[in-house]
Amino acid sequence: MNEIIARLKEQGYRLTSQRKAIVLRVTEAAEPLTAILIWQSVRQEYPNISLDTVYRNLNVLAEMGILIPIGSAGKDGVRYELVHSAHHHHIVCVKCGQSRCIDYCPVNQDLLDIVHASGYDLIRHTVEFFGVCAVCQNTKGALE
Ligand SMILES: [Zn+2]
Ligand SMILES: [Zn+2]
Ligand SMILES: [Zn+2]
């Protein structure tokens, strides 16, 4: 946590107390959380905080490079992970939204050359895989 605050100060950002509470929730969680889950948890400390405020702060924290949004199944399905290790990607379960880290990046120099040829200044990229997790594969069998 102190490391994150130091990094933000370096970049000229400051962490408001609400933002700090959000980062803390994500840090303490065993799994990446959705905005709604983060909101429910932060509300215990800040009863007046709105879901919109949480969304806004999550966007800012993602822009700051502190949180990675995972999953693109509408904004309610997006889960946030603390940037904890080297750049990596995720596989997301289409049924329950749980995700796993894939510690590999398939983007290579050839691809970057093609991207640069577009004339755009590249900021970041995401690569996501979608599937059905082991738990959901099993519950499916139980329901049928
Ligand atoms: Zn699942
Ligand atoms: Zn990850
Ligand atoms: Zn990558």
Same domain, 68 and 118: no
Distance CA 144, CA 136 (A): 12
Pairing of strands 33-34, 79-82: antiparallel
Ligand nearest 134 Cα, by number? 1
Q: Please state, in angstroms and rounded to a whole number, the distance separating the CA atoms of residues 34 and 71.
A: 10
Look-up: residue for tokens 């082991």? 134
Distance of alpha carbon 87 from alpha carbon 29, whole angstroms: 20
Do 91 and 72 fall within a single domain? no
Rounded to the nearest angstrom, the distance between the alpha carbon of 38 and the centre of ligand 1 is 20
Tens digit of pLDDT per residue, the chain (144 long)? 777 778 777 878 777 888 889 988 988 888 889 999 999 999 999 999 999 999 999 988 888 888 888 986 655 678 999 887 788 999 999 888 888 999 999 999 999 999 999 999 888 888 999 999 999 999 865 555
Q: Which of 46, 66, 84 is the last residue of a domain?
A: 84
Which pair of tokens denotes residue 68?
Answer: 């990675």
Residues 48 and 114 in one domain: no
Give me ligand 1 centre to Cα 136, in Å: 4
**pTM listed for this prediction:** 0.74
Taking the C-alpha atoms of residue 22 and residue 25, their distance in angstroms, rounded to an integer, is 5
